[in-house]
Structure 1
Amino acid sequence: MLEKTFYKMMLSKSFPFPVKVTYWDGKSEVYGNGDPEIEIVFNEKIPMSEITRNASLALGEGFMDKKIEIHGNIQKLLVGAYESADSFMRASKFRKFMPKQKHTEKQSEEDIQSHYDIGNDFYKMWLDPTMTYSCAYFEDGNKDDLEQAQIAKVHHILNKLHPQKGKTLLDIGCGWGTLMLTAAKEYGLKVTGVTLSEEQFKLVQKRIYDDNLQDVAKVRLQDYRELGDQKWDYITSVGMFEHVGKENLPKYFADVYKYLNKDGVALIHGITRQQGGATNAWLNKYIFPGGYLPGLPEIVTDIIDSGLQITDMETLRRHYQRTLEIWDKNFNAVRPEVEKKFGERFCRMWDMYLNACAASFESGNIDVIQYLLTKGPSGKTLPMTRKYMLDK
């Protein structure tokens, strides 16, 4: 009886629209006025002690293990929870401190491989043909063509650098190589990519040889902190600093400064919380071990302290929301095939991950920002206005 009272307290004010909750004893209640749009079913009781210890971890695992079912739009349900001040996602009585995340070079390698080395074949099933696993850029009315939007994102980043043919570019956390290889083929740059994922490294190597780019492109299976004294004219890093850990953010930007030539330009693209830095226990355990989403003030402080200067910042929150919605649609289209290989629990986990991230961007709980930085006076080698960034 006490635990059901706790559940009612937790759920009754968590959503701005009516929600039906069916409990483990078969009894149901509707919280909110009107016909419920979504139903939450507790097939089993999750101990109150687990929820109060960490709500996101307990409820996330409950969903994975089918102790919880959600009938209706998962993303909408989570957006409601993020936007309701008294919900279990925001109320102070449900917030718990997370253990600090340590990021030695060895730990960073293990963290990256645990996520990206699931296998290239898995990501090929639901990413677009460019194999780009980061926020796309939807322009000119495009809302649904993910491949077009990912290609547009790559050009949007490279155009911001105002790159000059024959110069050099370092891509920190190069993924499957689309950005660096586009820079080599279409912008005439000599490029180097670094990754800690063996699966990504092998595929980028193959793409370099398939496109006969050995003279202008190379990829290293190496920690970005071990690049020595070599310098580049441009640096890009997309979706990378979220993985380095809070304690390593100052060094990350110090290394960007170190690796840039004088008056060099960097475009750093990463998930940022305007409300301040945060971790999430469920995501840390199952999706991104060691992940930390930094706050905007700490990012700006680390940039300034490194010696870099900020030329431009652009938020792409709605673009990432749309990217994730398409990823989830693509994932569910091949879900039976994924389930055969990885099992139902994995599929429920991945579906929740994509929906939770989409909801977090939609609600403004997290953002993604592109930081255009210079080693030297801001914008010294760039055009006077932002118009050049959008010129085709």
Structure 2
Amino acid sequence: MFEKTFYKKLLKNSFNIPLRVKFWDGSVKEYGDGDPQITLIFNRKIPVKSVLTNSSIALGEAYMNGDIEIKGSIEDLICAAYQKKSSFLENGKKFIKYMPKFSHSVKSSVKDIQHHYDIGNNFYELWLDKTMTYSSAYFEHPGDSLYQAQLNKVDYILRKLDPKPGRTFLDIGCGWGTLMLRAAKKYNLKVAGITLSREQYNYVEEQIKKDGLQDQAKVELKDYRNIGKNEQYDYVTSIGMFEHVGKKNLGEYCQLLSQYLKPNGRALINGVTRQQGGATNGWIDKWIFPGGYVPGLTEMLNHIIGNGMQIYDLESCRRQYQWTLEAWDHNFRKHLPEIKKMFDEKFIRMWDLYLQSCAGGFKAGNIDDFQFLLFKGPSGYDLPMTRDYMYDHNK
């Protein structure tokens, strides 16, 4: 009886859409006005203590294990919770008494990154597009495919840098290499990429050989802190990377970013950020991205400016990431027969929850995705005066 009373109180003020809840004893309770859009089913009791310890871990694991079922859109349910100010998600600090600890040493960072990215290239190939780009796409038109939108994003980032042929380019956290190889082939830059993922490293190595770029491109299995004090580049990018470095290392990350830039060099960093301030999510930290930390926008700005760089342009791509995640989840579900041959039901439920809940977070504005165009120097004098050049597809 205590558990049901607790959950009734918890759920009463947690969503801004009509919701039906079916409890473990078969009783049903409806919340909100109008016909319920989503049904939340408790197949088993979820211990109250675990929710009070960390609500995201407790409820996320309950879904993974089949103790909770959701009939309807998980994305809409998560969005509705974040948009409700009295929700346990929006007001979650009162429900978090435990958070996992991460050292973010070079050794532990290798382990954290490989936990996520070394699941297998064949898994990611099923639901990413053929560019193998694992960050927000850029949908210039409503009819853009995911593939086209990822090409849009890569070209948009490179146009923002306004690169000149023959200069040097570094991609920190290069993923499967699409951005760095595009920079080499389209802009004739001498490019380097680093990653901690063995799977990504092998993939990029293969692409470099396939494209005959051995004299123009290199990839290294290396931490961003170990690039070398004397290595400097005209252009540096880091896409979907700074969320992995941890709160304590953000200052060092920006200091090294500045160090790796030549005088008057330019950088574009892009990552998940929060306008409301930095945050972690216990369930995502435990199961998806160990050591992840989403920095606050002002937190990032302070680190950037405090390390000798200035901001030329700042753009929110929040809705772009929402659309990207929806496309990924669509592909994920489309390829469930193949994925079921690779992984068990718990893994599949975990990834579906991850993709949809992140889409819901972006949709609600709980998380954002910013592109920071930076320069190192007193003026950024060699960048165009207006943003028109960024949209010039002939460049």
TM-score where L is the length of structure 1: 0.98
Mapping for residues 41-120 of structure 1, pairs under 5 Å = 41-91=41-91, 93-96=94-97, 98-120=99-121
Structure 2 equivalent of residue 335 of structure 1: 336
Mapping for residues 1-392 of structure 1, pairs under 5 Å = 1-91=1-91, 93-96=94-97, 98-139=99-140, 141-228=141-228, 229-392=230-393
Cα distance between partner residues in 1 of 2:338 and 2:226: 39
Cα distance between partner residues in 2 of 1:307 and 1:324: 34
Q: Deviations over 1:40-60 (max 9, x none)?
A: 000000010000111110000
Cα distance between partner residues in 2 of 1:93 and 1:369: 28
Identity of aligned residues (%): 57
- The CA deviation at 1:339 is 1.7
Cα distance between partner residues in 2 of 1:204 and 1:53: 42
Listed as ranges, the gaps of 5+ residues in structure 2 are none
Cα distance between partner residues in 2 of 1:257 and 1:214: 27
- The CA deviation at 1:86 is 1.1
Corresponding letter in the other structure for 2:44 = E
Corresponding letter in the other structure for 2:65 = D
Corresponding letter in the other structure for 2:147 = E
Cα distance between partner residues in 1 of 2:283 and 2:214: 41
Cα distance between partner residues in 2 of 1:280 and 1:157: 28
- 8 Å contact from structure 2 (residues 169, 233) kept in 1: yes
- The CA deviation at 1:299 is 0.4
Corresponding letter in the other structure for 2:120 = G
- 8 Å contact from structure 1 (residues 310, 378) kept in 2: no
How many residues align structurally?
391
Cα distance between partner residues in 1 of 2:116 and 2:143: 28
Corresponding letter in the other structure for 1:234 = Y
Give the root-mean-square deviation of aligned CA atoms. 1.0
- 8 Å contact from structure 1 (residues 267, 371) kept in 2: yes
- 8 Å contact from structure 2 (residues 137, 149) kept in 1: yes
Q: Secondary structure in 2 aligned to 1:278?
A: coil
Q: Deviations over 1:221-263 (max 9, x none)?
A: 1111111111110000000000011111001011111111110
- The CA deviation at 1:336 is 2.2
Q: Secondary structure in 2 aligned to 1:170?
A: strand
- 8 Å contact from structure 1 (residues 267, 373) kept in 2: yes
- The CA deviation at 1:101 is 3.1
Cα distance between partner residues in 2 of 1:55 and 1:366: 18
- 8 Å contact from structure 1 (residues 339, 346) kept in 2: no
Corresponding letter in the other structure for 1:226 = N
Listed as ranges, the gaps of 5+ residues in structure 1 are none
Q: Secondary structure in 2 aligned to 1:377?
A: coil
Cα distance between partner residues in 2 of 1:131 and 1:202: 13
- 8 Å contact from structure 2 (residues 53, 98) kept in 1: no
Q: Deviations over 1:285-321 (max 9, x none)?
A: 0000000000011101100111111111000000000
Q: Secondary structure in 2 aligned to 1:193?
A: strand
- 8 Å contact from structure 1 (residues 144, 326) kept in 2: no
Q: Secondary structure in 2 aligned to 1:203?
A: helix
